């Protein structure tokens, strides 16, 4: 009997050893796959940028971030709309890309303050009073509402959503060329400014409704004014929140 038990132990040991080894190897393999997937995802996010070459007005968002970057790097202590607007104008005057987009109209200080105080009302007024087609007004209004719902997501999700929206605008035959310019200029600034806040994690900057409304208000004039007004309104929101 003892010999039989001994024989069974000897015969089953290799199988136990093999099974244990297989489990260990499977775990190592799974861990390796997870690690590689994490590295791949991290690399993907690292390479993600806010650009959308399909949007012909994409330069507006890039210029917005360039001007904002110069301003925030200066650590200025301005806190009035006039002071901030003047400084932004001086920075913008050195940006050749912005100059190529046309002349930016002077900021209406009272309108900016009203936008900071009640951005949603000013947004609705700007869109309603614009010369855009009704279909374009609805599209832009829905886009601005959707950003409010998306802003807590990772930037990759926001970026993809805006890219998809822009594709639908570009292909929409109901929109006039001016409709598309206004909407695509606005969406570019929203996409780039959100990237600035989320991916750069700049402690001195967060995107705001006021910043986006400023983009819409300015875009109704021209793309250059959209950049300028968005930057100024965004900085005012930050300065008054401190």
pLDDT of amino acid 48: 81
Residue 153 CB coordination number (10 Å):
13
pLDDT of amino acid 208: 83
pLDDT of amino acid 120: 95
pLDDT of amino acid 46: 54
Cα–Cα distance for residue pair 85/71, rounded to 1 Å: 11
Q: What is the pTM of this model?
A: 0.80
- Tokens 């050893």 map to which residue? 17
- Tell me, letter by letter, the H, E, C secondary structure of 82-131: HHHHHHHHHHHCCCHHHHHCCCCCCCCHHHHHHHHHCHHHHHHHHHHCCC
What are the helix (H) ranges across the chain? 2-47, 59-73, 81-92, 96-100, 109-117, 119-128, 134-150, 155-170, 177-198, 209-219, 223-241
Domain ranges of the chain: 1-47, 56-241
- Tokens 């330069």 map to which residue? 59
- Tokens 């929409």 map to which residue? 172
- What are the φ and ψ backbone dihedral angles of 151, each rounded to 5 degrees? -65, -15
Cα–Cα distance for residue pair 237/170, rounded to 1 Å: 31
119-162: pLDDT as tens digits: 999 999 999 999 999 999 999 999 999 999 998 899 999 999 99
Residue 93 CB coordination number (10 Å):
11
pLDDT of amino acid 4: 40
Q: Which residues of the chain have pLDDT under 50?
A: 1-45
Angle at 107 between CA 126 and CA 139, to 5 degrees: 25
What is the enclosing helix (H) or strand (E) of 133?
A: none
How far CA 73 is from CA of 34, 98, 207, in Å, comes to 39, 19, 17
């Amino acid at each position: 009997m003892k010999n039989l038990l001994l024989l069974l132990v000897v015969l089953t040991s290799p199988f136990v050893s093999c099974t244990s080894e297989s489990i260990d190897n499977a775990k190592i393999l799974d861990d390796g796959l997870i690690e590689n997937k994490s590295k791949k995802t991290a690399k993907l996010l690292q390479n993600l940028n806010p650009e959308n070459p399909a949007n012909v007005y994409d330069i507006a968002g890039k210029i917005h971030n360039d001007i904002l970057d110069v301003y925030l790097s200066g650590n200025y202590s301005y806190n009035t709309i006039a002071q901030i607007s003047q400084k932004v104008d001086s920075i913008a005057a050195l940006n050749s890309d912005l100059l190529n987009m046309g002349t930016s109209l002077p900021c209406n200080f009272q309108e900016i303050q009203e936008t900071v105080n009640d951005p949603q009302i000013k947004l609705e007024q700007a869109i309603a009073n614009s010369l855009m087609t009704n279909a374009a007004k609805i599209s832009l209004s829905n886009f601005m509402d959707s950003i409010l719902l998306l802003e807590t997501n990772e930037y990759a999700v926001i970026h993809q959503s805006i890219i998809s929206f822009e594709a639908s605008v570009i292909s929409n035959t109901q929109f006039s060329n001016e409709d598309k310019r206004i909407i695509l200029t606005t969406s570019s600034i929203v996409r780039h400014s959100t990237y600035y806040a989320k991916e750069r994690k700049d402690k001195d900057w967060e995107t705001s409704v006021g910043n986006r409304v400023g983009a819409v208000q300015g875009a109704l004039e021209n793309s250059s004014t959209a950049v300028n007004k968005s930057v100024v309104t965004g900085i005012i929101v930050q300065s008054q929140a401190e």
